[in-house]
Structure 1
């Protein structure tokens, strides 16, 4: 999956909001059929999906486009996916997954609707919203090749806060263990680790620090709750020119040393060896694949 920095929701029954999400510069947009759509408007939201996907694709072929259907236990998921699996869709933001069997149920639905609607290659973003999902994060992450990303839970008032019963703080200590379990599951499965969620709309300084904390932990992108948050999230999860130069220089220094027969070398006051070079290459490859990285900013493409 593309290593999206920012993923922004838009209610599927409000096409104007979808346009605002695109204009905000989000790397990916989730067309929501679940929590942001009242029950009596679910059908209207479904019928708007295909037009929204086509409209966005006319203007932007790059942006990720996902749909969040209603959860499996609502028995609305099939109707949601029947309407939403159309050419131009990137994947499914799959809510309320609690165990690997839920992933297989989604697989069965997508296999059917992809085949019927002429769509291929849809991927999942999986939010961890339940205690069961936290306990089984590793098994869920490995349950299907369609899974491209999982989200470490941090919400102040949403499902996971109710399920676990923590008292939210801006520092996020109360969710560190929860997020860490998801992060390690992502790393083992080789999928994109995302963090969430900053609910305070006007506190951009708090958002920036929270996003920086997530990046320091190892997350590579974040869910955005409002268009005004997108620019800050993109900034935090983008590599700076100085960072790129540092890692490029590290790889080059190690390669020169190795060619001269030395397995270790001093670089900018650091002792580096093959492990450091391999880590730098992996980081550069990630940066090269990240939306928003200017063409040519990582000349080696990670020196694979």
Structure 2
């Protein structure tokens, strides 16, 4: 999955809001057929969403386009997928999953509608909204190649808050264990770890702090529910030029040391070896995969003066 920084929800029956989502700079837009659409408008919203997908793709091939369908137990999921699996769709935001078997049930439906529509490669974003999803996070993450991302739960008032019964705080300590389980499942499965939403629309300072804490934990993107949140979320999950320079310089320093027969070296006052270089390479690969961000690798053949400017010291003694 593309490592989306911001995933913004839009009610599926309000196509005029899609333009606002795109103008806000969201990496990914979720067209919603579930909670934000009144029951009596759901059937008509299916065609509206399909039309929105086609319209967006005529002018934007970059943005991710997902649809949140209605949960399996509503018996509306098949009708939703029949309407919205069209060329241009990126994937399905699959609600109310509790077990790996639920993922396979979605697979059975999606296999059929992909074949019917001539569409390939659709992915899932899986929100953790149920107790079972927390308990079975690892199995869900590994259940299907379609599972591309999972969301660590943080909501103040939504399903997971009711299910677990926690008392929400801006610091998020009450959901730290829940989110950590999802994060570890994502890392093991090699999928994109997302953190949950910030419901307080006017509190951008709180959003910024929350997003930055999520990135500190290891999450790589975040759900947003209002266009005004997108810029803050994107900033929080975008590496700074200084961070890119530091990690590229670390790789350069290690490779220069290794080519001279040294297994470790000081870099900007830090001891580094192969493990550090491997971590930096993975970090850089993620940074270059971000939408709209592709820092070019730098030349690793450094002259001494250039290496001094990077803070590359003499090799560690004894190595």
SS of the counterpart of 1:17?
helix
Listed one character per residue, the Cα deviations across residues 209-264 of structure 1 (whole Å, up to 9, x for unaligned) are 00000000000000001000000000010011000000000000000000111100
- The CA deviation at 1:300 is 5.5
- The CA deviation at 1:109 is 0.4
Listed one character per residue, the Cα deviations across residues 58-114 of structure 1 (whole Å, up to 9, x for unaligned) are 111000000000000000000000001000000000000000000000000000000
Which residue pairs with 1:168 in the alignment? 168
Which residue pairs with 1:85 in the alignment? 85
- The CA deviation at 1:299 is 2.2
- The correspondence of residues 229-240 of structure 1 with structure 2, limited to 5 A, is 229-240=229-240
- The CA deviation at 1:298 is 3.4
Aligned positions, number? 300
Whole-Å separation in 1 of the counterparts to 2:179 and 2:296? 30
SS of the counterpart of 2:283?
helix
Which residue pairs with 1:284 in the alignment? 284
Which residue pairs with 1:33 in the alignment? 33
TM-score scaled by length of structure 2:
0.93
Which residue pairs with 2:241 in the alignment? 241
Listed one character per residue, the Cα deviations across residues 147-186 of structure 1 (whole Å, up to 9, x for unaligned) are 0000000000000000000000000000000000000000
Which residue pairs with 2:296 in the alignment? 298
TM-score scaled by length of structure 1:
0.97
Listed one character per residue, the Cα deviations across residues 27-50 of structure 1 (whole Å, up to 9, x for unaligned) are 000000000000000011101122
SS of the counterpart of 1:177?
helix
Please tell me whether the aligned partners of residues 287 and 298 of structure 1 are also in contact (alpha carbons under 8 angstroms). Answer: no
Gaps of 5+ in 1: none
Which residue pairs with 2:223 in the alignment? 223
Q: CA RMSD in A?
A: 1.2
Segments of 4+ in structure 1 off by > 3 A?
none
Whole-Å separation in 1 of the counterparts to 2:118 and 2:49? 16
* Structure number, greater radius of gyration: 2
